Structures are given as structure tokens and as C-alpha cells.
């Protein structure tokens, strides 16, 4: 409606208006039960069926193989920084009970502030295990301290038998994202991973989930994403977990380490259709509505095409601005995210002028993260091509005015 602006916020972010209208109806009366979605028992058959249906929509659209289960959890992406460490260390203990704790290794690929945050949490929870940096993109940056690139494959040093291997596919703050063409220099180097079956490979897809296909999904142990960018409201995370990673954490605790908080253990979720306790009912509901809409539009392939056009258009305008000395990309060519385009505006007060001008045109949520500054244009699924055309037109207008 006319009261809504074009929201390019990095998260929580825009949701499709038609879904919000539908959700408002569901708040009053969920699936003709006469009870609103925030009021109905999560143990009701209607809600149970809805969770199953939502799960099926993800399985279908991402081609999730039968080796993996789909779980919905609370605590956002951050809870998964902890949960992946706790569950996969427990798995490692059960698989290798004779390995001393100090010889267990957790491998982290650092390409931005979110993988770094996950790495810091691993260090807190490692309990004597070694937390290894596979590669640190800052060492390959222009200034020696920025996450502005994807490191060359030759720089990766994976451990031979880690308890987990961690990477973040799309770095929301820095604006770098792995490519998805197998073997490309900007893609994750799957070919360099240790040659072992059932690798404990973990990927954070919080800010790119469902925006395009996930390369080599079946080879991952865990892919997870907080919902609040492409899918729904904050409050749930979606996990795709290979079945060998759902372990009895109590049995593992007898072998070493410490007990895993029950709210972070995967097994109770897997054993109880994601409802060992009350889930985030409303967030799950809206996520389901978004997924249904996605399917009707053509699923992840549809978004891949739309999102490709959107990012090409924005990066195109950015390049023009660079040529005119008005903008400056904050990430190296080839490493730029489809979802979060991050750049600086050159000159005294220019960034402020850019943001104020945008605001006047109803283009909002463009201020970059405080840690990197500049502008961040987030182009999640619900950001339409019409909105994208408007921001691109504004960028061109701004270039004209400033150059």
C-alpha cells in the first residue's frame, strides 16, 4: 500500500506484502480453526500439519536429500554458533572416544564478521579442543585488516580429521559471498576438503537461504539460516542436518566434555518434529506462507534469476559511480554478495547526502553496518525489481549530481 516504503534493510527485512495481508488474517483465524495463529496450541493437529507442510516446502524447493532432516529452532543464527560446536564435538567423542580432548580440532574459514563471531564462540566452548583458522580473508585484503575478499584456494589449510568445518556462505556485514559455480575461484573449495566420508561441514546461510540453489547441499553436515532475511520474522532458524549429526549428547557427555544444554541439542528436535517445546509459532507460520508463495512463483530457480538481475543492475550502477569517482566498492570484484551490496560514497558529507536523498524518495534501510560504514543495499527475495529499479535510478541521479 502507499504507506509502505522500499525497505533495503539488512535484517529484519522486507516481507512480501501479500504474505503480510494473509498473516493478518491468520492472526485472527488460523486455517479456519476459529483460533488465531498466536493463540492456537502447537500440539493441535492443524499446527502439526502446518509444520510438516512447511518442512516439505523446503525439502522440495532445495532438493534436500533423504539423508538430511529439516529442523526449526529458536535462538536465531547465534544459537547455532554454539549448537554446531556442542553437537559436533559430542559426535566426535562418540566416533573417536579414545582421542584426547586436546587433540580434537574445529576448523573455521574466516571471511567476515559473522564467521568470526562463530569462531569466537567456538573458542569459548571448545573445552580444550583446538580451534583452527583454515584461512583468514583479512590477510588477503588490500589494507591487511578488512574482510573485502574471498581468499585464493591455495591459502586454505584444512585439518585432516576435524570435528567440524565451518564457513559462512554470505557475509551480511562485509558483503562478500561465495560463488556457486563448482570450482570457480570465488566458490568454496570443496575439492580441497579432507577426503573422508560424512565430513562435518557446516554452512551459515542466514542471509542467502532460498535466494538461489545451495551448491553441494548433500555434502554438508549442517546448513542453517535464521529466518529474518529471506524467509520470515526473526524467531526461528531453519536447519538442514545430516542424520549422523543427530547424536545422543548425554551418551557423549559420559566420554568427556560437559553436558549440552537441552535447548541446543539437535536430537530432541529431530525426535519431536521440531517441537520438544513450544516453537516460535507465529514466525514459523509466516515463514510457511512465504515458502508457499515462493513455490507458486517457481521456487529457488525463479529467485536465482530475479536476484541475478537485481544484483547486476545495482553493481552496474556502482561501477558507473566508481568510474566517476563518486562511489567506492568495499569488496573486491568477484567476491561481491548478491544479497548485500556494500560501498562507500566519496567526499566530505557525501554519504549523508546520499542517505538523505534516498530517504526523501522513500528508499530506506541503506546505512551500512557501523563496523564497515558506507552504504549497504540489501536485495533479499522480497525486494522487488521495481524497488531495485528505483534505487538504481537514484544511484545514477546521485552520480550525475556529484560528478
Q: Can you give the binding site for ligand PMP, defined by CB under 6 A? A: 11, 76-78, 114, 168, 172, 204, 206-207, 226
Task: Please say if 114 is a catalytic residue.
Answer: yes
CA distance 308 to 318: 15
From 107, 114, 267, 330, the catalytic residue: 114
C-beta separation of 344 from 351 below 8 A: yes
CA distance 200 to 205: 16
> Angle at CA 148, nearest 5°, toward 175 and 223?
50
Q: Which residue number, 86 or 395, has a Cβ lying nearer to ligand PMP?
A: 86
Q: Shortest approach of ligand PMP to residue 92 CB, angstroms?
A: 23
Q: Shortest approach of ligand PMP to residue 1 CB, angstroms?
A: 27
- Tell me the Cα Rg of the chain: 22
User: For residue 203, what are the contacts with CB-CB under 8 A and spacing of at least 6?
Assistant: 166, 167, 168, 169, 214, 220, 222, 223, 224
From 116, 229, 310, 330, the catalytic residue: 229
Task: Please say if 292 is a catalytic residue.
Answer: no
Q: Which residue number, 113 or 130, has a Cβ lying nearer to ligand PMP?
A: 113
Residue closest to ligand PMP when measured from CB atoms: 76
CA distance 130 to 323: 46
Q: Please give the DSSP secondary-structure letter assigned to residue 190.
A: G
DSSP β-bridge partners for residue 241: 69, 222
Q: Which residue number, 172 or 307, has a Cβ lying nearer to ligand PMP?
A: 172
User: For residue 92, what are the contacts with CB-CB under 8 A and spacing of at least 6?
Assistant: 99, 104, 163, 200
Q: Shortest approach of ligand PMP to residue 402 CB, angstroms?
A: 31
Q: Shortest approach of ligand PMP to residue 36 CB, angstroms?
A: 25
Residues in the chain: 403
Peptide bond into 12 cis (omega under 30): yes
Q: Which residue number, 118 or 395, has a Cβ lying nearer to ligand PMP?
A: 118
From 204, 267, 330, 387, the catalytic residue: 204
Nearest to 274 by CA among 72, 84, 80: 72
Task: Please say if 182 is a catalytic residue.
Answer: no
Q: Which residue number, 9 or 48, has a Cβ lying nearer to ligand PMP?
A: 9
Q: Shortest approach of ligand PMP to residue 380 CB, angstroms?
A: 11
Catalytic residues: 114, 204, 229
Amino acid at each position: 500500500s502507499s504507506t509502505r516504503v522500499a525497505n533495503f534493510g539488512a535484517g529484519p527485512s522486507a516481507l512480501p506484502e501479500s504474505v503480510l495481508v494473509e498473516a493478518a488474517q491468520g492472526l485472527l483465524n488460523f486455517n479456519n480453526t476459529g483460533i488465531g495463529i498466536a493463540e492456537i496450541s502447537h500440539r493441535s493437529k492443524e499446527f502439526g500439519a502446518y509444520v510438516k507442510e512447511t518442512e516439505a516446502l523446503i525439502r522440495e524447493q532445495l532438493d534436500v536429500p533423504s539423508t538430511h532432516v529439516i529442523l526449526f529452532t529458536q535462538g536465531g543464527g547465534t544459537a547455532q554458533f554454539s549448537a554446531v560446536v556442542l553437537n559436533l564435538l559430542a559426535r566426535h567423542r562418540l566416533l573417536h572416544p579414545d582421542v584426547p580432548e586436546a587433540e580434537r580440532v574445529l576448523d573455521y574459514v574466516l571471511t567476515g564478521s559473522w564467521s568470526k563471531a562463530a569462531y569466537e564462540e567456538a573458542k569459548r566452548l571448545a573445552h580444550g579442543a583446538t580451534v583452527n583458522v583454515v584461512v583468514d580473508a583479512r590477510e588477503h585484503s588490500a589494507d591487511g585488516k578488512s574482510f573485502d575478499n574471498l581468499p585464493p584456494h591455495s591459502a586454505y589449510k584444512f585439518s585432516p580429521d576435524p570435528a567440524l568445518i565451518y564457513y559462512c556462505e554470505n557475509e551480511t556485514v562485509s558483503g562478500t559471498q561465495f560463488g556457486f559455480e563448482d570450482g570457480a575461484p570465488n566458490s568454496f573449495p570443496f575439492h580441497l576438503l579432507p577426503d573422508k566420508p560424512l565430513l562435518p561441514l557446516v554452512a551459515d546461510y542466514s542471509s542467502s537461504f532460498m535466494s538461489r540453489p545451495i551448491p553441494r547441499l548433500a555434502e554438508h553436515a549442517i546448513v542453517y539460516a535464521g529466518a529474518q532475511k529471506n524467509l520470515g520474522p526473526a524467531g526461528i532458524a531453519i536447519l538442514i542436518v545430516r542424520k549422523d549429526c543427530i547424536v545422543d549428547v548425554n551418551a557423549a557427555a559420559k566420554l568427556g566434555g560437559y553436558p549440552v544444554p537441552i535447548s541446543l541439542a539437535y536430537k530432541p528436535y529431530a525426535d519431536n518434529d521440531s517441537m520438544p517445546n513450544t516453537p516460535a509459532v507465529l514466525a514459523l507460520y509466516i515463514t510457511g506462507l512465504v515458502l508457499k508463495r515462493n513455490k507458486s512463483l517457481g521456487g529457488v530457480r525463479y529467485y536465482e534469476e530475479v536476484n541475478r538481475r537485481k544484483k547486476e543492475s545495482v553493481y552496474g550502477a556502482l561501477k558507473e559511480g566508481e568510474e566517476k569517482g563518486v562511489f567506492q566498492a568495499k569488496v573486491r570484484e568477484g567476491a561481491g554478495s548478491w544479497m548485500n551490496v556494500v560501498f562507500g560514497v566519496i567526499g566530505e558529507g557525501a554519504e549523508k547526502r546520499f542517505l538523505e536523498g534516498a530517504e526523501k524518495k522513500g528508499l530506506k534501510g541503506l546505512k551500512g553496518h557501523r563496523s564497515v560504514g558506507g552504504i549497504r543495499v540489501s536485495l533479499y527475495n522480497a525486494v522487488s525489481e521495481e524497488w531495485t529499479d528505483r534505487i538504481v535510478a537514484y544511484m545514477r541521479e546521485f552520480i550525475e549530481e556529484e560528478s
